[in-house]
């Protein structure tokens, strides 16, 4: 076996890495994994909104009486940038309005606790797919991984609840403070910021999902690919749904649920293809251990050495 370091990445490696990524994705049943993620996303949407809006029903009034309606408007508006109008009007918006009406009472009920487990199912599906893409499934027991996904979901929910008032009120406060001539800057700057936030969110998901995580900068390539695939695919799906509706061919009452499942499928597909790219790059150019892993190994080595020395003296 050669001790020489692997060759530096060049444009000649693009095609081999592409083939390896597609091959790994096929071997890991990317379509089945994406369909599974779509199924759990559909089941997790109401519990996710219940957990978030139920908590915000207590927190949002501290920022003013208009905060919770502003958050509802922000959620629906952001959903409209990704999903088709039918999905927003018939699934997401009614779910949000129904939950907000009884949100405060649900938080103190057993149903809210159960919703935490149900809402974490989508996160669990994403974690499973990322771990499988990197062939790290044996490193974490399935039961432990399920509870680990629950912990990630709770942390994500807390972060969403704490930041939602600022995200909802921030742009409005900024628009009131800046000159009117800057309104276009604020309007068009929204999309680049949204893309950057999506890339960072996917990168964090890749990092925290792995039992043996890779350095953060090595995960950015897959996160950029996942974000690009999702955005391009959703735009294409919205164009297709608009066209198919205009032609008069529909699925009747099933049209909106099917559209939501297709959007969720594209999300799962994008996250997994990005993870497969990161795994393919890792196989070609193995990354060194992260600083946290080195520190943990150093502490374990020092502890073993000290225990060995104590055993010898005794």
In this structure, what token pair is assigned to residue 293?
């892993």
Cα separation values, 62 from 53, 119, 149, 166, 171, Å: 14, 26, 30, 12, 18
Residue 231 located in a structural domain? yes
Q: Where are the alpha helices (DSSP H) in 1-107?
A: 14-27, 30-59, 67-82, 85-87, 93-101, 103-107
Write out pLDDT tens, residues 62-81: 777 777 788 888 888 878 77
207 within some domain: yes
User: What is the predicted pLDDT for the residue at 1?
Assistant: 43
- Per-residue pLDDT for the chain (314 aa), expressed as one digit of tens each? 445 555 565 666 778 888 889 998 898 889 998 998 888 888 887 777 777 777 777 777 777 777 778 888 888 887 877 787 888 888 888 888 777 776 555 554 566 677 778 778 888 889 999 999 998 888 888 899 899 988 888 888 888 888 777 777 666 665 665 666 666 666 677 678 888 988 999 999 999 999 888 888 889 999 999 999 999 998 888 888 778 777 766 666 667 788 888 888 999 999 999 999 999 988 888 776 666 666 666 676 667 676 666 556 55
Give domain status of residue 57, yes or no. yes
Q: Is residue 4 in some structural domain? A: no
In a domain, 311, yes or no: no
Range of the domain at 130: 18-167+185-306
pTM above 0.85, yes or no: no
Number of domains in the chain: 1
Place of tokens 């129904």: 98
Residue 141 inside a domain? The answer is yes
312 part of a folded domain: no
Q: Which of 53, 75, 40 is nearest to 260 (CA)?
A: 40
Kindly state whether residue 12 falls inside one of the protein's structural domains.
Answer: no
Give the pLDDT confidence of 117-156 residue by residue, as tens digits: 877 888 888 999 999 999 888 888 889 989 998 888 888 8
**What pLDDT is recorded for position 14?**
79
CA separation, residue 120 to residues 37, 217, 268, 304 (Å):
12, 27, 15, 38
Nearest residue to 278 via CA among 122, 135, 123:
135
């Amino acid at each position: 076996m050669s001790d020489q370091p692997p060759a530096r990445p060049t444009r000649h490696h693009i095609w081999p890495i592409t083939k390896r990524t597609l091959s790994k994705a096929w071997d890991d049943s990317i379509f089945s994994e994406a369909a599974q993620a779509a199924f759990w996303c559909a089941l997790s949407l109401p519990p996710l909104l219940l957990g978030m809006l139920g908590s915000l029903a207590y927190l949002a009034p501290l920022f003013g009486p208009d905060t919770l309606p502003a958050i509802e408007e922000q959620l629906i508006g952001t959903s409209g940038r990704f999903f088709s109008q039918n999905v927003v009007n018939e699934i997401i918006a009614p779910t949000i309005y129904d939950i907000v009406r009884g949100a405060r009472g649900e938080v103190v009920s057993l149903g809210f606790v159960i919703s935490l487990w149900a809402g974490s199912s989508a996160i669990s599906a994403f974690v499973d797919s990322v771990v499988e893409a990197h062939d790290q499934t044996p490193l974490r027991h399935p039961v432990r991984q399920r509870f680990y996904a629950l912990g990630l979901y709770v942390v994500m929910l807390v972060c969403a609840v704490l930041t939602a008032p600022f995200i909802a009120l921030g742009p409005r406060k900024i628009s009131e403070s800046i000159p009117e001539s800057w309104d276009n800057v604020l309007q068009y700057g929204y999309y680049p910021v949204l893309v950057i936030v999506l890339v960072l969110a996917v990168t964090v998901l890749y990092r925290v999902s792995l039992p043996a995580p890779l350095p953060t900068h090595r995960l950015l390539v897959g996160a950029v690919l996942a974000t690009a695939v999702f955005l391009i695919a959703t735009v294409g799906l919205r164009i297709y749904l608009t066209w198919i509706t205009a032609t008069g061919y529909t699925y009747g009452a099933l049209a909106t649920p099917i559209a939501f499942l297709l959007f969720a499928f594209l999300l799962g597909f994008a996250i997994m293809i990005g993870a497969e790219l990161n795994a393919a790059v890792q196989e070609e150019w193995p990354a060194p251990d992260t600083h946290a892993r080195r520190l943990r190994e150093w502490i374990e080595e020092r502890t073993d050495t000290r225990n060995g020395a104590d055993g010898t003296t005794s």
